[in-house]
Structure 1
Amino acid sequence: MSNNLDSIIVELVVTACQAEANNIWMQGGLEISLNNEKPYTDSDIIDIDEFLKSLEQDGEFFIFSCHCGLPECSGWELGIQVLHLEENIKWTNPNNGKTWCFSKQKITNDLINIREEIANYKQFFSQKDIAYVGVGYNW
């Protein structure tokens, strides 16, 4: 099955945020690309808790959601259907019928790298008295 796998990239995106002159922080978020395309809109977010749970078990997961926290708000009437197949994971989006199958090890490796990046960012920003929030804040 590995010959027919879709590509998946999970990466950390860190942006600077500022509310006022002395209120600056760095915010981390995840992005997921499947076959070099995001399976969600730019106004959607990745629900980290749902994403991490989906890596451990089969079921329906609202991995993608609206910024407000309600998946339905951005058209996610149904969650991603997740099926674990030995070393791979299959995602089916019942909202549009798309299906992807990718390596669980690839995601695991990406998350290991992301955790290392977060540790580096947290240490670097703390030395400059800048808070890091978002993905991995409590990892």
Structure 2
Amino acid sequence: MDKPLDTFYLELVVTACQMREDNIWMQGDLEIRFNTEKPYADSDIINTEEFYNSIYSDGEFEIFSCCCGVPECSGWIKGIKVSHIDNKYIKWINLNTGKTWLFEKKRLEEGLKEIEEEVENYKKFFKEKGIDYVGYGY
């Protein structure tokens, strides 16, 4: 490989949300970082359906989007080109900027497993407190 591997981080960020005084719940959001940087703006979201679809398939995916749900709203005119290499590595190319990341597929899969375990722990914890926890994704 001609490019060194990027370090892939996946994190679950849990926050309290409120619509009215009597309507409060906890919500999880995924965050992705390569090395130390997020490949998307702080106001953007991860489209979890597209993200999950990209884990085992090559193609162009709208992994990132504006928080309103319309990728173009925050400048995501094109998606992320995803290529799987030898079933060991994943290469992402931001088709808007040309930025490229190459990382171990195993790190992504391990990160997702840890996130799923965290989600189950949060669900159990908040249920005992009588608080709804909606997991992550939109």
Would you call these one fold, judging by a TM-score over 0.5?
A: yes
After superposition, give the CA deviation of every residue in 1:15-70 in whole Å (9 maximum; x if it has no partner).
Answer: 01122332211000000001210010011000000000000100000000011111
SS of aligned partner of 1:31: strand
**Cα distance in 1 between the residues matched to 2:20 and 2:72:** 33
**Cα distance in 1 between the residues matched to 2:21 and 2:69:** 28
SS of aligned partner of 2:24: strand
2:98 match: 97
Unmatched segments (≥5 aa) in structure 1 = none
What TM-score do the two structures reach when normalised by structure 1?
0.93
SS of aligned partner of 2:83: strand
Residue correspondences, number: 137
RMSD: 1.7
**Cα distance in 2 between the residues matched to 1:64 and 1:103:** 20
What TM-score do the two structures reach when normalised by structure 2?
0.94
In 2 relative to 1, CA 136–75 (structure 1 residues): closer, same or farther, beyond 3 Å? closer
Unmatched segments (≥5 aa) in structure 2 = none
Amino acid at match of 2:93: T
**Cα distance in 1 between the residues matched to 2:21 and 2:71:** 34
SS of aligned partner of 1:78: coil
SS of aligned partner of 1:114: helix
**Cα distance in 2 between the residues matched to 1:90 and 1:105:** 13
1:1-139 pair list within 5 angstroms: 1=1, 4-86=4-86, 87-135=88-136
1:136 Cα shift?
A: 6.6
